[in-house]
Structure 1
Amino acid sequence: MAPLEVDWSELPMELLGSVLQRLPNVDIIHFGAVCTSWHSAASDKSYSSAPQLPWLMLPYKAGHEGKETRKFHNLSENKIYQIKLPKEIRHSRCVGSSFGWLVIVDRFCHALLMNPFSGAIIHLPPTETFPGVLSVNRSKTSGGIDSHTIRRHEPDLEYSFSAARLRVALISKALVTADPLVDNNYMVVAIGLSGLAFRKAGADS
């Protein structure tokens, strides 16, 4: 009797998703390289990966800030991987990580969450909704951000911060309380220029 031939590319998406939820991130990358349908499943941002040891994101080398890839050290394998980053976060600053998500402040001082493995991005409320940030001042010619007007307390004075300067000062550390793909009640907590700031899922400030 001839063996039954199986077309693995025709497996149902639900079954592929069930497998993906049990794989560590590096195996999800390999999974997505098998065929078009498996790559489509691996790119589906609704699937979260299995718990694993954290990866270390290595710092940029001087002059490489705009590179499209970033190096990550996988502790369980003792290997370094290069992962392509979305263009939105090149020249950005990472201020924290939780549950596989990076908390990013980009070069325009916008805060966002990014999952480097799935490529999923969650934009956080505008910079001017942070406590102490009064306004964003834009160039009349280019429309780009020139500076931000900030209120600093004790003494209660207003200052003008460039986007580059505020990018460093706005958030010094941040975390996410749960995986946004799993728990809709997650919160982002940030420490920085205005003290302690919270943003609940779905909130616009």
Structure 2
Amino acid sequence: MAGDWCTMPLDLLGAISMKLETIEDFIYFSLVCRWWNHAASSIKTEWRAIPTPWLLLAENNKENPNSLRKIFNLMNNKCYKLTLPETFETRCSGSVYGWVAMIDRHLNVKLFNPVSKAHIPFPSFENISDVMSYDPECFDSRDEYSTWCLQGFVTKIIVLRASQSCHHEFVIVAICVSACVAVARPGDPSWTLILTDKADYEMVDVVAMDDHVFALFRDGRLVYWNAEEFFNMEFMKQIDYSPRQPHILGKELNYAFNKEYLVQSGSELIMVIRYKEEVGDEKGEHYDLDIVYRTYFFEVFKLNPTNKLWEEIEELCGLTLLVGCNSSMCVSSGKYLQESCIYFTDDENEFWHKPKEFGGHDMGVFNIKTGEIDEFYEGDDTRSLISPPTWFIPQL
């Protein structure tokens, strides 16, 4: 009987594998034997999995000779261990495209697929600007400088898929301190700085939608670029799309701790505001050095396409959001994820060095309807100095 299974017609095996819904099942199918692996490989480019978020957990540098890194799957609440030495000592940022953007301590940059182990090199982050140049008088060592670059200089790394009219499929946008926003494509000799106007509020997130690339500022203002020009870097001029709306930030806003995110949902734009608080006494003088800060609330807004103003919403019909150290994501809730909820991870990189065992503790799932926050992962492997857990959607 085993021989019969291993000699099934290739087209029949291909038809069966196309019915598989999860990337785990597809991988298990391909591991049955060489013939089944051949069948899976023949349809791999056509097969599509249910978009299921995986959480790349923090690296474990202690007693881990095989460089195993744990990945948590929200669909079945299971952890996988993959040998991923490439991800150690790197700043990681996931995406919906299966790629994780990585910057290592030598400031080399690449996109890496944790499942297939494929990678795409990008230009180095070395000397991206005068602000980032190594100055021996400011740092005790080159390692200290690298830690600052990965932890303090880079605030967010975003992976965008270019339009079909562009020569490069993916670009990386790096939002950094000192109003530095840089873009790079594979094969570029260096990063290109985006020149924005001198606003009082910094850029916080970027998404690509239809023929535009939108950027969100901390005061709710949106700007955009023509997508083809942006990805080809032919004419990097931003255009105002929606006005400043500081009134929507109605709660007591601690700019040291709050975060804003821009999320694409089909043809709609969603803004998420994350509120955090310091963990201390009433006067804020004594802190629990193992926590320091925590998320306590979210607000969600949808852009009205008619008046281009943000309008608060209290539910996401059939949708789930994921924010943190990654490109901001919106996925179908399906039967596995909590609907109208926001899964979040710790992205307070400026304060990662404050907690006793570094940052990564501020994780949970927020219910937009009830305002409650629950845990979704109870493991103790979330802490890291430069790369706490990050979301990505696995792809072959």
If the length of structure 1 is used for normalisation, what is the TM-score? 0.64
Q: Which amino acid aligns with 1:192?
A: C
User: Does the aligned pair in 2 maintain the 1:95–1:105 contact within 8 Å?
Assistant: no
* Aligned pairs for 1:162-177 within 5 A: 162-163=142-143, 164-165=146-147, 166-177=149-160
User: Which stretches in structure 1 are left out of the alignment for 5+ residues?
Assistant: 135-147, 151-157
Aligned to 1:95, what secondary structure does the other structure show?
strand
Counterpart residue number, 2:51: 52
Matched, 1:122 2:153: no
**CA-atom RMSD in angstroms:** 3.9
Cα 1:49/1:109, change in 2 over 3 Å = farther
- Aligned identity (percent) is 30
Q: Tell me, yes or no, if the aligned pair for 2:71 and 2:79 is still in contact at 8 Å.
A: yes
Task: Kindly provide the amino acid, as one letter, of the partner of residue 198 in structure 1.
Answer: V
Question: Which of 111, 114, 117 matches 1:113?
Answer: 111
Corresponding position of 2:161: 178
8 Å contact from structure 1 (residues 170, 193) kept in 2: yes
Structure 1 residues 201, 123: CA separation in 2 closer, same or farther (over 3 Å shift)? closer
Counterpart in the other structure of 1:77: 76
Whole-angstrom CA distance in 1 between matches of 2:155 and 2:64: 19
Q: CA deviation at 1:102?
A: 0.9
1:4-57 residue CA offsets vs partner (Å, 9 max, x unmatched): x57447727xx859946964221232123111344467679x737424121112
Shift of the alpha carbon at 1:75? 0.9
- Shift of the alpha carbon at 1:115? 0.9
Partners of 2:109 and 2:153 in 1: CA distance = 10
Contact kept in structure 2, 1:95 and 1:103, CA below 8 Å:
yes
The structure number with the bigger radius of gyration is 2
Secondary structure at the aligned position of 2:115 is classed as coil
- Distance in 2 between the 1:53 and 1:179 partners? 22
Which letter does structure 2 place at the counterpart of 1:30? Y
Residue type at the aligned position of 1:52: P
Provide Cα deviations, 1:111-149, integer angstroms capped at 9, x if missing partner: 111111111111111223633478xxxxxxxxxxxxx53
Q: 1:17 to 1:191 in 2, by over 3 A?
A: farther
SS in 1 for 2:107: coil
Q: Distance in 2 between the 1:189 and 1:21 partners? A: 36
Residue 176 of structure 1 aligns to a residue whose secondary structure is strand
Structure with bigger RCO (C-alpha 8 Å, 6+ apart): 2
74-83 vs 52-61, which deviates more? 52-61
Unaligned runs of 5+ in 2: 191-396
Letter in 2 for 1:131: S
Which residue number in structure 2 is paired with residue 191 of structure 1? Answer: 175
Which residue identity lines up with residue 176 of structure 2 in the other structure?
A: G
Report the TM-score when normalising by structure 2: 0.36
1:200 aligns with 2:185: yes
Q: Could you say if the C-alpha distance between residues 28 and 8 of structure 1 is closer, same or farther in structure 2, counting changes exceeding 3 Å?
A: same
Change (3 A) 1:38 1:201: farther
State the alpha-carbon separation in 1 of the partners of residues 118 and 15 from structure 2: 16
Alpha-carbon distance in 2 for matches of 1:125, 1:17: 41
Decide whether the 8 Å contact of 1:127 with 1:133 is kept in 2: no
Structure-1 separation of matches of 2:8 and 2:18: 15
